[in-house]
Amino acid sequence: MNDGIRVLLVDDEEKFVLNLARLLRFRGFEVATALDGYRALEVLGGKSGFDVVVLDVKMPGMDGIATLRRIKKIQPDMAIIMLTGHAALETGIQSIREGAFDYLMKPCDIEDLSEKIREACEVERIRQRPILWPRHLVREITWPSFITLNTMDPLQKALEVFMREVGMPVKESLYILDKEDRFEGTIERRDLLRAAQEKTPDRRLTWEDLIRNPALLPEITLGEIMRPDHPIATDPEENLTNAAQRMIEHNVRCMPVIENDKVKGFIRLQDIFQHVEYETE
């Protein structure tokens, strides 16, 4: 599935980048590496055949944001995934504003990174050559089963839901609903990590730290840290063409499915791509 996807890894930590390259090659990606932003620009200038750049934010000399800007000037359509440390979440958000496809926190899960790389390639393919799927509807790929969260639940409950289960999709956002299953807010993994970091400012925390020790989370409710903004949503009868295009335009990977003001489930952009690929084989 990953054959032919060409990735450039850019990170000044040589041991890290070489190990990451090995893991991605094992999963079928074609991978090249660069140890700083200047070398990355040389590689991209000499060979324009890369599909995705995975770029570390914190590098000496020309940092990741500056490198991102330079790459976007010479190759505006290049898909770039940023890797940011736990203390640089705002930098990750800034990178999205500067044109990055997405960002992940280091150390990232190799399967999460592989999925992001595939998504980036699929999104660019849709942008360059839109595909019409009028007979495919959102209800065909909706995940109707999810644990309901409410504003009074502790942070630990959201952590339990975020922890990956076999056969279930990786979730980036969780929906907080009222007693009538109507939307009230969202919680993202970085929200939990930020809350834990504020509780323990003298220690650098990772997502793996939270999984191993949920007690690192403060004893507060989801309502105290949730994002009240209503996300873009879809309904079961919307066709996948429109749903995919809106998700790409708004740079979201997951979207709630709402019917009669009630959340019925969610869909993921990656599931849309996989569904259509299966149906058209």
Q: How far apart are CA 192 and CA 153, in angstroms?
A: 13
Same domain, 170 and 207: yes
Q: What range defines the domain where residue 75 resides? A: 6-128
55 shares a domain with 13: yes
Looking at 128, 163, 182, the residue that finishes a domain is 128
Report the pLDDT value the prediction gives residue 156, as an integer from 0 to 100: 92
Residue 226 inside a domain? The answer is yes
Element (H, E) at 7: strand 6-10
Please state, in angstroms and rounded to a whole number, the distance separating the CA atoms of residues 117 and 91.
20
Q: What is the CATH number of the domain that holds 253?
A: 3.10.580.10
73 plus 167 within the same structural domain = no
Q: Which of 77, 104, 128 is the last residue of a domain?
A: 128
Residues 35 and 143 grouped into a single domain: no
Identify the burial level of 63 via C-beta atoms within 10 angstroms of its C-beta, where 0-12 means exposed, 13-18 middle and 19 or more buried.
middle
CATH code of the domain containing 86:
3.40.50.2300
Taking alpha carbons only, the member of 78, 254, 57, 276 closest to residue 169 is 254
- Residues 260 and 178 grouped into a single domain: yes
Supply the pTM of this predicted model: 0.55
Return the pLDDT at 165. Answer: 47
Using 70 as the pLDDT threshold, list the residues of the chain that sit under it.
1-3, 47-48, 86-90, 92-93, 125-135, 145, 164-172, 274-281
Residue 1: inside a domain: no
Q: How many CA atoms lie within 13 A of 249 on its CB side?
A: 7
* Under 8 Å between Cβ of 232 and 246: yes
d(C-alpha 155, C-alpha 221), whole Å: 6
154 and 216 share one domain: yes
Please give the DSSP secondary-structure letter assigned to residue 59: -
Q: Tell whether 78 is covered by a domain.
A: yes
Task: Tell whether 124 and 142 lie within a shared domain.
Answer: no
pLDDT at 274: 67
Please, which residues bridge with residue 79 across strands?
A: 52
Residue 236 lies in a domain: yes
Structural domain contains residue 133: no
Q: How many domains does the chain have?
A: 2
Q: Which helix (H) or strand (E) holds 112?
A: helix 110-128
Among candidate residues 128, 147, 166, the one where a domain is terminated: 128
Q: Which pLDDT score is estimated for 171?
A: 59
Asked whether residue 117 falls in the same domain as residue 150, the answer is no
Q: Kindly state whether residue 218 falls inside one of the protein's structural domains.
A: yes
Query: Cα(155)–Cα(137) distance, rounded to whole angstroms?
Result: 34
Task: Label residue 253 exposed, middle or buried (CB < 10 Å: 0-12, 13-18, 19+).
Answer: buried
- All residues at 6 or more sequence positions from 269 whose CB lies less than 8 Å from its CB, including other chains: 119, 122, 123, 244, 247, 248, 252, 253, 254
Q: Are residues 250 and 174 in the same domain?
A: yes
Q: Quick check: is 69 in a domain?
A: yes
Confidence at residue 276, expressed as pLDDT on a 0 to 100 scale: 60
165 DSSP assignment: -
Unique residue bearing structure tokens 């009538």: 180
Using CA atoms, how far apart are residues 108 and 182, in angstroms rounded to an integer? 32
Give the number of other Cβ atoms within 10 Å of residue 197's Cβ: 19
Residues 55 and 189 in one domain: no
**What was the pLDDT predicted at 10?**
94
- Do 114 and 166 belong together in one domain? no
In a domain, 276, yes or no: yes
Same domain? 179 vs 101: no
